[in-house]
Amino acid sequence: MSSFIIIGHKAATEPFSLNDLPGSAGRMDILCRCVNAALFLSHDLRRDVRVYLILKGDPAPPKIIRFDGADVRYLSPDERSAASLIRKALEKNVQDFWTESMQGVSIKKG
């Protein structure tokens, strides 16, 4: 199993607007591109990959979001789709243990 760890030093740690990914979300667009590059093949998903996003921006850093290629659902190759899954994870009550927000997407305190 391959793992990718991406650190977002200014990535938002609270729900953000999907209409302004590069601005108010702290360059969340780049993190979404990393998720898509790690998980997508030309016509399928890589099932043997995990992607960890470490969000260190305001207001409540750090938070870790995990995408599990074997289980992830509702992920399309566009940035907005990945951003939507990240935002849903940030809406969850974050604990010190993994909490699943959607199938294949989990979040915990860093």
What is the rounded distance in angstroms from the CA atom of residue 21 to the CA atom of residue 23?
6
pLDDT band, very low/low/confident/very high, at 83 (cuts 50, 70, 90)? very high
**Tens of pLDDT, residues 23-72:** 989 999 999 999 999 999 998 999 999 999 999 998 988 999 999 999 99
The residue length of the chain stands at: 110
Q: Where are the domains of the chain?
A: 2-109
Question: CATH code for 2-109?
Answer: 3.40.1280.10
Q: What pLDDT, on the 0 to 100 scale, is given for residue 9?
A: 95
Q: What pLDDT, on the 0 to 100 scale, is given for residue 43?
A: 87
H-helix or E-strand containing 29? helix 28-39
Checking if the pLDDT of 95 tops 90, the result is yes
Residue among 23, 16, 10, 24 nearest 82 (CA): 16
Checking if the pLDDT of 74 tops 90, the result is yes
Q: What pLDDT, on the 0 to 100 scale, is given for residue 80?
A: 96
Q: What pLDDT, on the 0 to 100 scale, is given for residue 14?
A: 93
Please work out, in degrees rounded to the nearest 5, the angle formed at the alpha carbon of residue 59 by the alpha carbons of 14 and 34: 55
Which pTM value belongs to this model? 0.95
